[in-house]
Amino acid sequence: MLSLNSQQATDMPHKKYPLPPRWVSKFFQWYCHPDYYEDIEGDLLERFESGLEEHGLKNARWNYIKDVVRLFRPGIIRSLEISSRINHYSMFKNYLKVGYRNILKHKGFSLINVTGLAIGIACCIIIMLYVQNELSYDRYHKNYNQTYRVLQTFRSAADPGSLPPPAPEEFQVWGCAPIGPALQADFPEIKSFFRFTSPVNLLFQYQNKKFQEDNMVFADSTAFKVFSWRLISGREETALTKPNSIVLTQNVAAKYFGKNDPLGKTITIDQTKSFVVTGVMEDVPHNSHFTFDGLISMTTAHNWRTEIFDWWGYVDFYTYFLVDEQANIAALAQRIPDFVKRHLPGWQDNTIAFEPLSDAYLYSVAARQPGAMGSLSNIYMFSSIAVFILIIACINFMNLSTARSMERAKEIGIRKSIGAHRHSLVVQFLLESILLSTISAILAVALVSIALPWVQELSAKTLDLSSLLSWKSVIAFMGGVFLIGLLAGSYPAWILAQVRSAQVLKGTFKSSSKGAALRKSLVIFQLSLSIALIAGTAIVFSQLDFIRSRDLGFTKEQMLVIDFGWDSGVQEQLNIIKAEFLRHPDVHSIAASRAVPGNFLPDAGTRIESPEGAMIMQSPGIYEIEPDFVPTYDMQMIAGRSFSANIPKDSTETLLLNEAAMRLYGYTDPSEIVGKKFSQWGRNGIVVGVVKDFNYKSLHTKVEPLALRFAPVGALRHLSLQVSPENITKTIA
């Protein structure tokens, strides 16, 4: 029987023949193996024509569809892309095998490349951990984006209202107690406020365990509402409501109670007061811009000193507040002038401001911070160093790879002669590069785990490698390793893929002069970056050496400081204790004071007579000292005299200033301010001397104004002993 295929039927214009469904024929043509297509198609059309004569068009088409579907089975369908994919997988596996063998074959080259990349990646990981730590401060708080803190200014002028608006640097975080309740009363958008004080030093005793605790703060009961600190035991709502209640951190609680439950237990403080433990909380995370070891209820501080909670001029509180999600902080800030006028009519030159919690660690320029500050410039600097180190490592890899092009030329020539395409060679060399970078990354992680303890000690940061185990960090790390391998191997792969097989097989292949020029350029660039890093290291070292050797204006060598924490027993017997210390042959001098250089100190509202005769109010820092303090620290008097134990009036009617304070009150000649009147914290008298400026704070800042006054009874905390350099260990013992 003569059969017509679909094309023949279409080509005969004079007579129309019924055809099977076109879409079915196209489907069959798509899946059928090309080697069988024509034969099977003829048989299908023959069956269709036979069915057409016997059963009609409808049944013939339906049977045709069933035949096409039945033929869709292994052996007839084409391989599609499966074989291609299998082939690609095999090639990929072969590339990795060749790369692995090449690494083992050239052990020296591979070791240099892997080690160089590993050190570069390890440096980047360490710097990334540091940067991640810096950027993570306070972000663990649930209400991070809704929490703000209050900044205040404390300025004064002879003509009230004459000062310009304060600069950001003139604000300070340290403020007064009444401002928190007043803000919540006047601003409905404020859901809650939280205050805490400067750290206090207290002697804790439980049974036979006695320790001096230096980082306890008085805090409002809203602590756990504003901030996301978790209580392990106790109730958040009531833990800090009652007087003489205290919440300890987990570490401090373990020191006194071990594994026993401390809830409800009583701790004796300063040998006279009893505090009940009402809660134990997790230790404050290291990435907090302020920390503490325990919270004492604010009602306790209120009972001790009720007057300061209504005193807008008394400064010893840090105030934070939580706003509604819909609150507009800019709109709140616009209402500040009315708030100040309503509550502080005498504050013509002073104001308050709101600072978001997100700015507290890295961006704040306000003074009197509650904790250590970060440095945004350090983040940029270290990030740049990480990039430089990585670039140097990648350039080192590229130079070594291109320099070895002659050794790989024969391999490439043979591969090309048997049909290898240029893109497949590029893929091969890129895979080798990625394999090397992966090995380097594994080695880098090992190096980081070994070096991390020393880095933490050097940086005073808690850097944890496990912080990189989040899925985002793992993906970023793997992507980075892949990118490093891709970038480091891209140019060598492109250069090696250009090799002509004919030249190689004839033995006439030579390295390109352009390649040599590029390698030289890369080496110059690499050395330039290395020199820049070495120079930066030298500058940092010289700065550290400058800090170590700089004259601070006082003697710090062989100075032993004993903190007795306001102990009333020590203060009552202070003269006897000092005399007993001086009997030791290696103790040359001794002095008592409230603070020593480098310690916390308060500000004091101080009025001093100006050159024009007006009493000007400023707020310099204050040291409360004994007469022996200035000579013990070898401080230099540049005008007037120091305090004297033989002049009774010195204890209540005299004041010393440093040079910065002298300039603050409008004087340039130190001798001119000697004899001028002063008024400070209930004392009135005259300035008797000017001390040469000494660095009692960080060398990052200028020496700030400082007033030194004769310490009143009960205001002393430290003993400073100047000891002999010989046998220091024996002397301390």
pLDDT (0 to 100) of residue 84:
47
Confidence band for 714, pLDDT divided at 50, 70 and 90: confident
Are 288 and 226 in contact by the 8 Å Cβ rule? The answer is no
Q: Is residue 86 scored above 80 in pLDDT?
A: no
Q: Tokens for 139, please give them.
A: 């972000």
pLDDT (0 to 100) of residue 2:
38
Helices 336-343/179-186 angle, 10° precision: 120
Are 426 and 494 in contact by the 8 Å Cβ rule? The answer is yes
Confidence band for 3, pLDDT divided at 50, 70 and 90: very low
Question: According to DSSP H, which parts of 564-633 are helical?
Answer: 568-572, 574-582, 629-632
Residue 455: partners with Cβ closer than 8 Å, 6 or more residues away: 126, 463
The closest alpha carbon to 205, from 243, 257, 250, 170, belongs to: 257
CA distance 642 to 656: 7
Q: Is residue 10 scored above 60 in pLDDT?
A: no
CA distance 574 to 572: 6
Measure CA of the first residue to CA of the last residue in the chain; give whole Å.
Answer: 120
Residue predicted with more confidence, 101 or 3: 101
DSSP state of 163: S
**Window from 101-115, 198-212, 503-517, 582-596 with minimum mean pLDDT:** 503-517
pLDDT (0 to 100) of residue 332:
94
CA distance 703 to 694: 7
- With 0.85 as the threshold, say if the pTM is over it: no
**Window from 118-122, 156-160, 175-179, 565-569 with minimum mean pLDDT:** 156-160
Tens digits of per-residue pLDDT, 272-323?
Answer: 899 999 999 999 999 999 999 999 999 999 999 999 999 988 889 999 999 9
Residue 566: partners with Cβ closer than 8 Å, 6 or more residues away: 201, 270, 714, 716, 717
Q: Is residue 497 scored above 80 in pLDDT?
A: no
Q: Quick one: three-class SS letters along 57-106? A: HHHHHHHHHHHHHHCCCCCCECCCCHHHHHHHHHHHHHHHHHHHHHHHHC
Using CB atoms within 10 A of its CB, is residue 416 exposed (0-12), middle (13-18) or buried (19+)?
A: buried
Average pLDDT over residues 245-263: 95
Q: What is the domain partition of the chain in residue ranges?
A: 6-70, 91-134+376-540, 144-359, 559-732
Tens digits of per-residue pLDDT, 600-644?
Answer: 788 888 999 999 999 998 889 999 999 999 999 999 999 999 999
Q: Is residue 416 scored above 70 in pLDDT?
A: no
Share of the chain above pLDDT 90, in %: 52
Q: Is residue 214 scored above 80 in pLDDT?
A: yes
Q: Is residue 399 scored above 60 in pLDDT?
A: yes
Are 172 and 397 in contact by the 8 Å Cβ rule? The answer is no
Out of 73-87, 333-347, 514-528, give the one with best mean pLDDT: 333-347
Residue matched to tokens 């050097």: 458
The closest alpha carbon to 194, from 147, 141, 249, belongs to: 147
Q: How many residues appear in the chain?
A: 733
Tens digits of per-residue pLDDT, 520-557?
Answer: 887 888 888 889 889 988 998 898 888 888 889 999 99
Average pLDDT over residues 383-392: 90
